[in-house]
Structure 1
Amino acid sequence: MDMLKREDNEKLCRVSPGTPMNELFRRYWIPAVLSEELPGPDCPPVRVRLLGEDLVAFRDTNGTIGLLDAYCPHRRAHLFWGRNEECGLRCVYHGWKFDTNGQCTDTPNEPPTSDFKHSVKLKSYPTYEKAGIVWTYMGPKELQPGYPDYEWMRAPENFRNVSKTFEACNWLQALEGGIDTSHSSFAHNNNIADKNALRSRATAPKLEVVKTDYGFKYAGIRDLKEDGNYVRAYQFIMPAQQMRGAMVRWTDGQMEKFPSIAGHIWVPIDDSNVWVYNFIYSSDVNIPFTPEFVEKHETDFGRGKADMLPGYKLVRNPSNDFLIDREVQRTKTFTGIAGINTQDYALQETMELPFCDRTREKLGTADTAIIVARQLLLEAMKDIEAGKVPRGVDPSTYNMVRGCDKFLPKGVDWKEGLLEDMTAKF
C-alpha cells in the first residue's frame, strides 16, 4: 500500500500551536484532567499541558473549575504556585488574583484606588465535568459544539471506571497502536502455550472498515473454521477515541471478566508526549462492576496501584527496559513484559524520535484501519481550512455507538449481525 508522504506525516504528528493538527483538536471537547486531580473546593492547583500549551487547572471555593494560561500576566510567574482561596487563584509573586474565567479580581500591589485589575484578563478555556473527567474546549467560541456525550459517560458510576497514563511518545503512534487489531495475537499473547486461545487460532484477522459521520466502525474477523467467526468490532470516534468489546469468560461457573466495553482517548501533550485516558464500562445495564473486577482489570493492563509512579507514569518504562523478563518471554508470554498496555508502551515509546518516519513503512491489509484513520484526520484538517465542520464534532453523530465482540455463524455479515450489539444501551 502507498506510503505516507513526508509532509502529511508532519501534519499528522505535530500539534504545537499554529499547526493544522492543533487546530483540529481545538474543534472538539478533549479531556484536560481527571476529576480526582481536583478533589475538592480550594484544593491545590494542577499543572496541565495540552497541545503544546502550558495551563493550570483549579477548583474554586464554589467547586467551579477554571483552566487558565499557566503564567501570570504581570511578570509571568507560574500559577501552579498560586494560593487557591476565596473563589480565585492568587499568584504568590505579587498577589494578583484570577477567577475561573481568567478575570483579574485583585491587584494588591497597586494603589487601592486603581481600577487596573478590570483591564487584566488571563486566557481561559471552558470546562465541563462528567464521568470522572474535566473536559475542555480550546477552539473558537462561536464554533463550540455540544458537550461530549459518549455512552460510557452516561453509565452510572459503579458501571464504569476511568483512569489515565502518561506515555512518552508522539500521540499518533499511540493511537495507531490502539486501533491496530492484529497485534493482539502477538504483543498481547500472555500464554504462548495455549494454542486454543481465540487470537492464537487465527492470527491474521480480515479487516473491514465502514466510514461514518463520526469517524468509522471496523471489524477484525477471525476465521475459527467449524466454530464460525470471532468478530471484534470497534468504533473510531474523531479525532482520537477508540472503543472495543471485551468478551465475558466463565470458569467453573464463575465469571472471570464482566461483559464490558473498553477504550482509550489519546490527548496530545506536545509533539513527544501524550495522555492516554482509559475507560471501561459494563455492556449490560443490569451488571455493575465490583471493586475486585476494576482492580484486576487495571492490574492486568499494567495500571494497578503497584504499577504507577506519581504523575500517572508507569513503574515499567524505558529507563529500566520495562522490566522485561527474557525467561518469561522464552517460556510464557510473547513479550516478557507484564501489563497489556505496558507492552504497547514498550513498543511505542521506543520507536523513532521525535515520531515515526512513515515514509519508510511497508503496510499490509492488516493496517486498513490505520490507513483510514490517517485519511480521515487529513481530510478533517482540510475541512477546517475550507471553513467546514469536521466529522464527529456533533455529539448526536456518536452518542448511540459502542464496540463489541461476538461469535457469528459463517455467512453472517457483521454489519447486520452486530447491529444491536453496537447500539448504546445507557
Structure 2
Amino acid sequence: MRITKELNERLTRVGPGTPMGDVFRRYWIPACLSEELPAPDAPPIRVRLLGEDLIAFRDSNGDVGLVDAYCAHRRAPLFYGRNEECGIRCVFHGWKFDATGACVDMPSEPPTSKFKTRVSIKAYPTYEAGGLVWTYMGPRETTPDVPDYEWLRAPETHRRVSKTGEQCNYLQAIEGGIDTVHSSFAHNEDISNRNLLRSRDTHPKLEVDIAAHGFTYASIRNVSDEQTYLRIYQFLMPFQQSRGRFIDWEGNPQGLPSVHGHLWVPIDDENTFVYNFMYSTDDRFPISDEYWESHESRFGRGKDDFVEGTYWLKLGPQNDYGIDRELQRTKTYTGIKGVNTQDFALQVGMGPIVDRSLEALGSTDRAINAARRLLLQAADDVEAGGMPRGSAPEDHRDTRGYDLLVVRGTEWRDASKEGTRSQWQ
C-alpha cells in the first residue's frame, strides 16, 4: 500500500487527540517496569507516555498510582513530592493527592475549607502483570478487561522482561521488528556461514492471515531440496510481536524452549520504549538470572550496555553504535555487535519519523503493509465510536509465535497449528 505524507502523519502521531493516540488509548499498555517502583512509599518516577508527562508511585498499600506530573495548584513538579501515607505530597505547598488523583490534604488552606473536595489531578488506572505496570488512558466507559497474553500467565520463575529506550517513532521500531527478511542480512554475524537457516534462503515467501488479535504471518524459507524453515510470527495489536526461538540447520531449537517478543510503546512522537520479553514454554525449564543476562548481553542490552541508572543504551547515534568497519569488511554485514544494537542503528538512523511516501516496498514487506492497514483501520474504528481489533483479552489470549523445520510442500497452517497455541493457563 502506498503511504502518503498525510497517511504517515495519521499513523505516527500519538499525542492526545490524534487518531493513533486515540487508538492506543483504547488498550491497556505498559507504563513502566514493576522493578522501577520497588517498594511501598519508594521514590516516584517520571513517566512519559503517548506524549503525556506523568509520574508513577507505589503507595503505602503497594498500589501504583499514575498521575499528572504537575500539581493542580501552581503546576509544581510532583516528581519532587513526598510519597507518604497513601499519597504523593507536593513539596511546594503541601497539597497531597492519592492514586486516583483526588486531593486528600490541603494544609495551606484553613482547616474548615472544603476546597480540596473540588480539586483533583489527572490519574489513570493501573494493573500489574508480567513484571509490568499496565495502564488504560482512554475513556472510562470503554475500558476493556485487563490483558491476558500467554506470557503474563507464565510463572514468574519462567518469565523475564526488560526495557530499552529507542530514539525514533514507534512505527519504524515495529516495522523493523516484524520484518523477518532483515535477519538474513543485518543480523548475520558470519556472512560465510551457510549453515544458518535464514542465510540459506534470503528471500522467503511471506503469507499473512488477518486474525482477531491482529495477524499471523509465516516466513517460508526453502533451505534445501527437502526442507522448509517456517517462522510463524504473531502481530498483536496495537504494537506487540511474538516469535519462537531460532532453530539450527539440523532442526534443533536453540536455547531453552521459549517464546520471545517485544512491545513498542510510544513515549511520544519521536521516542519509544521497547519492552522485551521471554518466557519458557516448559515447566521443567525456569529462566535463571545467568541465562537471562547472557541472552540480554548477546543482544546488546546486558547490564553493562546501559547508561547507569537509565534504560538508555551507551551506544547510539552519538558514537555510531560502535561500528567496526574492519569487522564489517571481513565478517558481518553491519560491523555492529549485538542484535538489538544493529536494529537501533538502522531504525534510529532513518530519522525520528521516516517519510514513508519515499519508500519502494517489495514482496517481502507484506507484514509491514498488513500492520499499517490494521492500524489505519483501528483509527477509523475508534473515530466511528467502536473498539479496535485485539483490545479484548479473548482476542489474544490463545496465541504465540513458533519456529519449525518441515518437509517441503507442507502446509504451514497445518504444521504450526499446535505450536502456535498457548499452553500456560
Report deviation, 1:78.
0.9
Contact between 1:30 and 1:267, CA under 8 Å: does it hold in 2?
Answer: yes
**Cα offset, 1:247, TM superposition:** 3.0
* Amino acid paired to 1:138: M
Letter in 1 for 2:31: A
Find the residue that maps to 1:257 and give its secondary structure.
coil
Shift of 1:3: 2.2
The aligned residue for residue 199 of structure 2 is: 200
- The equivalent position to 1:423 in structure 2, one of 390, 404, 421, is 421
- 1:247–1:259: 8 Å Cα contact kept in structure 2? no
Percent identity between the aligned chains? 59
State the one-letter code of the partner of 1:245: G
- CA-atom RMSD, angstroms? 1.5
In 1: Cα distance, 2:100 partner to 2:331 partner:
54
Contact 2:245–2:253 under 8 Å retained in 1: no
The residue aligned with 1:33 is 32
Equivalent residues in 2 for 1:113-192, closer than 5 Å: 113-192=112-191
| CA–CA separation in structure 1 for the residues paired with 2:254 and 2:396 | 30
Cα contact 1:52–1:270 (8 A) shared by 2? yes
Deviation at 1:259, TM superposition (A): 1.9
Matched, 1:108 2:95: no
Aligned ranges for residues 6-405 of structure 1 at < 5 Å?
A: 6-247=5-246, 257-309=255-307, 310-352=309-351, 354-405=352-403
CA distance in 1, matches of 2:238, 2:246: 26
Q: 1: distance between equivalents of 2:247 and 2:304?
A: 26
**3-state SS, counterpart of residue 17 of structure 1:** coil
Q: Distance in 1 between matches of 2:362 and 2:247?
A: 31
How many angstroms apart in 2 are the aligned matches of 1:89 and 1:239? Answer: 32
Task: Quote how far apart the aligned CAs of 1:114 are.
Answer: 1.1
- Structure 2 unaligned residues grouped into runs of 5+: none
Deviation string, structure 1 residues 179-199 (Cα, Å, up to 9, x no partner): 100000000001222122111
Distance 1:376 1:255, change over 3 A: closer
**Partner Cα distance (1:165, 1:389) in 2:** 29
> How far is the alpha carbon of 1:256 from its aligned partner?
5.8
Aligned mates of 1:255, 1:365 — CA distance in 2:
28
| Per-residue CA distance 1:230-260 (angstroms, 9 max, x = gap) | 0000000100000100135699xx9961121
Q: Deviations over 1:214-244 (max 9, x none)?
A: 1000010100123410000000010000010
Do 1:250 and 1:256's aligned partners in 2 also have CA atoms closer than 8 Å?
no
SS of 1:292's equivalent in the other structure is: helix
Q: Which amino acid aligns with 2:374?
A: L
Aligned partners of 2:335 and 2:152: how far apart in 1? 35
Task: With the length of structure 1 as denominator, give the TM-score of the two structures.
Answer: 0.97
Q: 3-state SS of the aligned residue for 2:369?
A: helix
Please state how far the C-alpha of 1:17 moved relative to its aligned partner: 1.1
* Preserved CA contact (<8 Å) 1:248 1:258: no
Does the CA-based 8 Å contact 2:55-2:78 persist in structure 1? yes
Deviation at 1:337, TM superposition (A): 0.9
Provide, for residues 100-134 of structure 1, a one-character-per-residue CA deviation record: whole Å limited to 9, x for no partner: 10110111111111121111111100000011000
Report the alpha carbon displacement of residue 312 of structure 1 after superposing the two structures with TM: 0.2
Q: Give the AA of the match of 1:275.
A: F
CA contact 1:164–1:277 (8 Å) conserved in 2: yes
Q: Deviations over 1:130-178 (max 9, x none)?
A: 1100000000101100101100011111111100000000110001001
Task: State whether residues 247 and 403 of structure 2, in contact with CA within 8 Å, keep that contact through their aligned partners in structure 1.
Answer: no
Q: CA deviation at 1:344?
A: 0.5
User: Scaled by the length of structure 2, what TM-score is found?
Assistant: 0.97
- Partners of 2:349 and 2:253 lie apart in 1 by 37
> SS state of the match for residue 336, structure 1?
coil
- Displacement of 1:291 after TM fit? 2.2
**Closer/same/farther in 2, CA of residues 284 and 116 from structure 1, 3 Å limit:** same
Contact 2:227 / 2:407 at 8 angstroms: preserved in 1?
A: yes
- Report how far residue 408 of structure 1 moved: 1.1
1:412 alignment partner in structure 2: 410
Amino acid at match of 1:53: E
Q: Distance in 1 between matches of 2:259 and 2:326?
A: 33
After superposition, the Cα gap between the structure-2 partners of 1:281 and 1:227, relative to the gap in structure 1 and judged at 3 Å, is farther
**1:271–1:284 distance in 2 versus 1, CA, 3 Å:** same
Q: Is the 8 A contact 2:229 2:406 kept in 1?
A: yes
SS at match of 2:209: strand
Q: CA deviation at 1:57?
A: 0.3
Residue 225 of structure 2: SS of its match in structure 1? Answer: helix
Contact 1:261-1:280 within 8 A present in 2 as well: yes
Amino acid at match of 1:265: L
